[in-house]
Structures are given as C-alpha cells and as structure tokens.
A and B are shown apart, each in its own frame.
Chain A
Amino acid sequence: MIIERIDLTNFGPFHGQHDLTFPGDGTGVHLIRGDNGQGKTSIQRAILWGLYGQVLDRRGQPIRVSSFLNRTALRDNLYQFGVTIHFNHEGAKWSLSRRTSSRTHADRSYEAALQLDVVRDGHVQPNPEQAVRRLIPQDVSRFFFFDGEMLRDYEELLDQSSTSMTLLRNSIEHVLGIPYLKTARDDAVQIQRRLEGERSRMIRRLGGEDYEELVRDFQATSDRIAGRDREVRTIDEQIAHLEFESQEKKRRLTEISAVRTLAEESARLEREIAREQSDWDTKAAQQRALLTDLYKTVLVRGAADIIAHLEAKHEAAMNKYDKKQQLIGRLEDTRKAIAAQKCRLCGAILEPAKLRTLSAEANDLEEEIKKLTEVPEPNLEYDHHVSRLRALQGRLITQDAFEGLDSGMEATGQRLAALKAKLADVTDKLSGVDEEEPRRLAMEIARFEREQGRLSGVKSELVNQNVDDLDLKSNLEARIASIDRDELNILGRKMALVKPIIEILEEAISVYRDEQREKVGTIASDIFRELRTKSSFSKLVINDQFGLNIITTEGLKLDRAEWRSAGEEEVVALSLVGALNRSAQIKAPVFMDTPFGRLDTKHGERILTFLPKMSEQVVLLVTDREFRKQDEKFLAGHIKSDHTVVHKGENEGSSIIAT
C-alpha cells in the first residue's frame, strides 16, 4: 500500500477542504514539518480514522469521534467531516472515503451517520470495511503508524502485563502472517467434520435402519473426540498463558532476590565509596598544597645563587668587621702607651722620637678605622634568610610527585565513578521493591503451578478418553469402510486426505513461527548494528514473546534494566519494528510522528540514515527542533516531498503548504 494523496474535510484543525499529495508514485521519504499544535498528528489520525473509523489513544482507548470535527465548522453548526485516501496497492488504484454528517454534535450521531466507500480500479467494493481489513488489519496498524512515545511504549509493552504482551504478540504474529496457517488448519478441521457428517448421512441413506446404530455410534464418538480436542486446545492455551504468567512472576522474583542481595552490596559499596572519597580528598588536599607551593619550586631554583651571593657578601663584611676590631684594639694599646710614655711590655721610658712615631702610627690607625667604619655593618638577619632558602631547597616539587598524585587521583576518581554508578543502579532497583511483593509473587506462582497441574490433569484425562474413543472410532470406521459402496469409498478418500492436511498445517504453525522469529531477530540485529551508538553492543536476541535483549561484544546478555536509556530503547524498538516491516506479510507505509523528540543528535542522525530502508514509503512528521536543515543530508536523495503544516489562526485553522 502506497498512499498517493489524502483529502481532508473539516478534520481537526483543517477547516474546509485540504489535500496532501505525495508526488510521483508516492514512494520515498516525505517530510511534514510543523511546530507542536499545528496539525501534524491530525494528519496521521485522519488516515487511521479513514481506515478504521476509530483512532486509539496511547492507552488503547478510542478517541471521541466528535473531537475530530473542526472548531470553525462546529461554530458554524456544520457537523460534517471526512477523509479520502488515494492509494496504490499491488498494482491497483484504490480510493477510500470515510465521512460523517450529523444534525447534532454528538458521538453517537456521528457514528450512526458514518459512511465508507472503497473503490478499486473504478469498482465500488461491496463490503468496504472488509476490504480495509483485508488490506491492513487494525491490530497491525501500530507497526506502520506510530509516534516517538509509542515507539518507546512499545518496548514497555514487551515488559509489562501479560494481557498487553499477548495482544502485542498476536499483532506481531498477525503482521508476520502466522494466522493464515492457523485459519487454514481450522478450516481443514471444519471440512473434516463436514465430511464426517456427509458420510454419516450417506450411510443412513444407503443402509437404512441396519446401519443406523453404527452411524449414530460413529457420529457420537466423532463428536466426543472433536469436543475433547477443542477442550484440549483451550486447556493448552490456558496452560501456556499460566506458564507465561508464572515465568514472568519468577523472573520478577529472581530480580527482587537479586536486588535483595544487592542491598548488602549497596552497603558495601557505600563503605567503599566513603573510603575512596576520603582517599580522593586526601590526594586533592595534597595536590592543592603542591599547587600552593608551586611558586616556591619556581623561585627556589635561583636560591643557590642568592645564597652564594649572600655568603660572599657576608664573608666580605665579616672580614672587614674583624679587621676593624683588630685595628681598634691596636689603637687603644698605642694610645695607652703614648699616654703613659712607657712601653706596655717592659715599662721602659719611651723616647720623644718614639712617642712621635707612635702618635703617627695612632693617626694612621684612626684613619684606617675611619675608612672601615664607612663600610656597613653585617646584616644579622642573613642567617635567617639563608636557612629559609635552604629549607625550601629541600621541599622542591618534582614532576614525578605531581604526576603520581595526579594519576592516583584519576584512578581513585574512576573507581569512585564506577562505584557510584553501581550504587545508583542498585538504589534504583531497590527503590521499586515492595516488601510484600516477594511473598505475593511466591503465592501467585504456587497458585499458577497448582492450576497448571490441575489443567494438565484434566488434559491428560481428556487425551486418555480420546485414545479410547479414537480406537472405537477407528473400529467403527473400519466397519463403515467395509460397506461396499463406491460413493462411500470416494468420501473415505476425501476424509483420508484431510487428515494429513490438518497435521501438516498444525506442524507448519510452530515451524513457521520459529523461522519467522529467527528471521525477525536476524534482521533486527542487522538494523540494530546500523543504529547503535555503543560499539560494545553486539547484537539483539529475540525471545518466544518477541521481546528483545542486547548482547554485548563479550557475550553478556543485557536486559532493559541494564541498558535503560531513551535513545537505546528507541533504537531497540525501531530495530524490531523495522525487522517486522521487512518480514511483514502486509505492506504499508510507515508514518512516524515526532520520532526524534527524545533522541540525542547522534541517535537521530543514525535513525534518519536508516529510515529510507525501513519501508517503500516513509512519512516523517517532525518539528523544526527535531529535524534541522543540516539533517536533510542524512536522507540525501530520498526526500520526495517537503510540506509544512501551519496554523493560521482560530478561524482559518491549519493549512498544508509546500516547504
């Protein structure tokens, strides 16, 4: 199915007549832009309403039909709206037109007045609703018309209640064509019963009262077997349902038990985090100290020269000081000798000539002392400065010390981050645990198992009864077959042919389901590898319920709790939807409403690159924020039309214009 044009009349924000054409043969990627609230979603809803006369909200509840009427039309008391979809399907031109016109603005009136016409290659289809269901059944439309939120909900569905899960699994089986085999098997079973009825009637006709009892016995036996077969089939479904429920509860219980164990782990992690944090704090303080003293390291490199310079200066000053002290001593002695006019050593009287020499010598000494007095006195703080500089020389910051500290901090930081991530994960899991849940789950599991046991017992009894009846039936059949009549022989051959047909169809259901599941899993994995952003994610595996798990390159199987992120969820869901579209027995366009709202740029770009391969016709309903001008390159060559939905005001409503 490829949509070529959509005509809207008073639908949602579109007042009057509006149309949206997908040019060419409609294939390729089509953009419909528009800010929130302009009417993009209404286009998608118009298609779904056109197809099914009903649009479901995210909770699966029907949206009120009266809400589709345009407000201006409502104000003008014009209670009519409709949609026409022109499309191509398997080489034929189709048009589907659904409309309603009522005298009052009430859901019931609109629904009562609903009209649908389906035309194929100019021929009006006698039963239009059936024609639509043949084209694209409503329960599989979720794989073709969805929004970003629904895509995310899709993965949620795979996790949640078994009722939703069963519905989803049925939809998946439907889109893959598995019900065709089930229907064929049921048809064959019905035909078998009809043939048996015919044979009974024929025997009565041929044999009169002689065969009456034989036929009655055969028919009764056959009815009993068929009745028990139906019961066994129902019981099988109930057992499968209980088994699934039980598995789900067990999975949950294991999850809780695992989380409980992790609660202890949580306490241990908290202690470890505290220890690592303290280590990190110590190292950080050391680093701060190093950084504080860094200027000293720079300055102290010149300390040796300064010390040498100061020492030389100090020594020179001390030499002068010592010399002056000696001279002062000598001057005092000379002056004493002149004053006493006697030799200080022997006491001999000094001659006048000697006294004059001593006076001259004293004058010279005074002169020399005077010269030395002009030299500054030694700086007594010198020792203090030098010792400080020497101390600093011993505390130089080496590169090794700094780098060692830095790498130590980095390692501690990494350990801390890993521990905190683990703790967050554990805390997250713990927060969802209800104290009473394990006990409740255990009771429910026990109840399911009891019920499974009871049903198995009933089934086994029915099967045993059927074994006896099958023997009886075969005995009766042999007796009937011994009736030598050509017509009966022919009927017998027909019945004999139906039996293996039923067996083949029965076997084909499970074989085909398994093969399709494997095929979907392989395609989903291929798509996933194309879309993933983490190279450590290797592939997807698909389970019996079509649920998905990520497998890492190390072979680890991750469940949703372990890869939870909006981006990854959407990628996984899109991989499955993409695989289903490729494997589907039903071909239809893919409409994606605001698909990138929750995605980061990288995921958005990868998904854009993949979209053209998802379906022959892809329609993207996007806001400018999620699809930017530069994103067009990711769809290079595939964009076949570009429209914008603009809301022009309360009266005029919205319009679809070429971008």
Chain B
Amino acid sequence: MQVEELFEVLKRINHEKGFPVDDDLLKRIIALVVLHPLDEDRSKCQDEIKELIEQHSGLKGHDH
C-alpha cells in the first residue's frame, strides 16, 4: 500500500516530464527503498538499485 501511494506520485511526475524513465523502474526503486529504509541498508540497497538501472538502460527509457 505504501509503495503504491509513493509510486503514484512518481508516476505522475514521470508522465508530466514525458516518460524519461520506465514506470516499472521507478516502482521497483521505491519498493527497494521501502524494504531497506535504514542507514545500514544503504550500500546493499544502492547496489540493487544500480543493478535495476543497468538492466533498464539496456531496455527502454532513455533511448529517445
């Protein structure tokens, strides 16, 4: 529920900006942060977000 609510805002802004980022990537990033919110989680969480970005950069999102 909390991820959905945060994602809705991200999605809206992403759409307003002309979809520079894949919605799914934004959703997965915020879901990761909600799951790993502590300072101790940062390194691991950033690794996972980076991996997501790497996957998406080869797919779609910014090749326009």
Which A residues form the contact surface with B (CB < 8 A)? Answer: 127, 130, 133-134, 177, 179-181, 183-184, 187-188, 190-191, 194-195, 490, 493-494, 496-498, 500-501, 503-505, 507-508, 511-512, 515, 585
Query: Least Cβ distance of B12 to chain A in Å?
Result: 8
Contact partner of B46 (CB less than 8 A), chosen from A130, A181, A191, A493, is A191
Residue of A nearest to B35 (CB): A134
Provide the residues of chain B in CB contact with A503, threshold 8 Å: 17, 20
What are the residues of chain B within 8 A of A500 when measuring CB–CB?
Answer: 17, 20-21, 62
Whole-angstrom CA separation of A501 from B54 in the bound complex: 13
Interface residues, chain B, CB within 8 Å of chain A?
2, 5-6, 9-10, 12-14, 17, 20-21, 25-26, 29-30, 33-34, 37-38, 40, 42, 45-46, 49-50, 53-54, 56-58, 61-63
Are B33 and A177 neighbours in the complex by a CB distance under 8 Å?
A: no
Q: Give the docked Cα–Cα distance between A515 and B10 (Å).
A: 13
Task: Report yes or no: B21 in contact with A504, Cβ–Cβ below 8 A.
Answer: yes
Residues of A within 8 Å of B17, CB to CB, are 500, 503-504
- Write out the residue numbers on chain B whose beta carbons fall within 8 Å of the beta carbon of A515: 9
- Contacts A190-B46, A490-B57 given: A501-B29 contact, CB under 8 Å? yes
Q: List 18 A-B contacts (CB under 8 A).
A: A134-B38, A177-B6, A180-B37, A181-B6, A183-B37, A184-B33, A184-B49, A187-B29, A191-B49, A490-B58, A493-B63, A494-B57, A498-B53, A500-B20, A504-B20, A504-B26, A508-B9, A508-B13
CB <8 Å contact, A496 and B62? yes
- Chain B residues positioned under 8 Å from A195 (CB to CB): 50
Assess A134 versus B6: contact at CB under 8 Å? Given A191-B46, A490-B58, A497-B53: no
A183:B33 contact, CB within 8 angstroms: yes
Residues of B within 8 A of A496 (CB): 57, 62
Closest 6 interchain pairs by CB? A500-B20, A585-B2, A494-B57, A493-B57, A184-B33, A512-B9
> Does B37 lie within 8 Å of A194, measured CB to CB?
no
The residue of chain A having its C-beta at the shortest distance from the C-beta of B14 within the complex is: A504
Given contacts A187-B45, A187-B46, A504-B17, contact A494 B6 (CB under 8 A): no
A188-B49, A497-B61, A504-B14 given; name 16 further pairs at CB < 8 Å. Answer: A177-B5, A177-B6, A180-B37, A184-B49, A187-B33, A187-B45, A187-B49, A188-B29, A190-B46, A493-B57, A493-B58, A494-B54, A497-B25, A497-B53, A500-B62, A504-B21
Residues of B within 8 A of A498 (CB): 53
Nearest-neighbor residue (CB-CB) of B39 within chain A: A183
Q: In this complex, which of A133, A494, A497 has the most chain B Cβ atoms within 10 angstroms of its Cβ?
A: A497
Distance between A350 CB and nearest chain B CB, rounded to angstroms = 144
Contacts of B12 in A (CB 8 A): 511
Complex alpha-carbon distance, A187 and B51, angstroms: 13
* Known interface pairs A497-B57, A512-B9, A585-B2; A191-B21 also in contact (CB < 8 Å): no
For B57, list chain A residues within 8 Å (CB): 490, 493-494, 496-497
Asked if residues B13 and A507 are in contact (CB atoms below 8 Å), the reply is: yes
Are B33's CB and A494's CB within 8 A? no
| B29 vs chain A, min Cβ distance (A) | 6
Bound complex: CA A585 to CA B14 (Å): 22
Tell me, rounded to whole Å, the shortest Cβ–Cβ distance linking B41 to chain A. Answer: 8
**Which of chain A's residues have a CB closer than 8 A to the CB of B34?**
177, 180, 585
Q: What is the bound-complex CA distance between A490 and B55, given in angstroms?
A: 11
Q: Is the CB of B13 within 8 A of A511?
A: yes
Interface contact B9-A511, CB-CB below 8 Å:
yes
Say whether A504 contacts B45, CB under 8 Å: no
Known: A180-B34, A508-B13. A501 touches B53 (CB 8 A): yes
Q: A500-B21, A501-B29 in contact; A179/B37 too (CB < 8 A)?
A: yes
Closest to B10 in A: A508
CA distance A191 to B5 in the complex (A): 24
Hey, which chain A residues are within 8 Å of B21, CB to CB?
497, 500-501, 504
Docked CA distance A503–B26 (Å): 12
Instruction: Name which residue of chain B comes closest to A493, CB basis.
Output: B57
Q: Is the CB of B30 within 8 A of A184?
A: yes
Bound Cα distance from A130 to B20, whole angstroms: 35
In whole Å, how far is B16's beta carbon from the nearest beta carbon of chain A? Answer: 9
Q: How far is the CB of A571 from chain B (nearest CB, A)?
A: 28
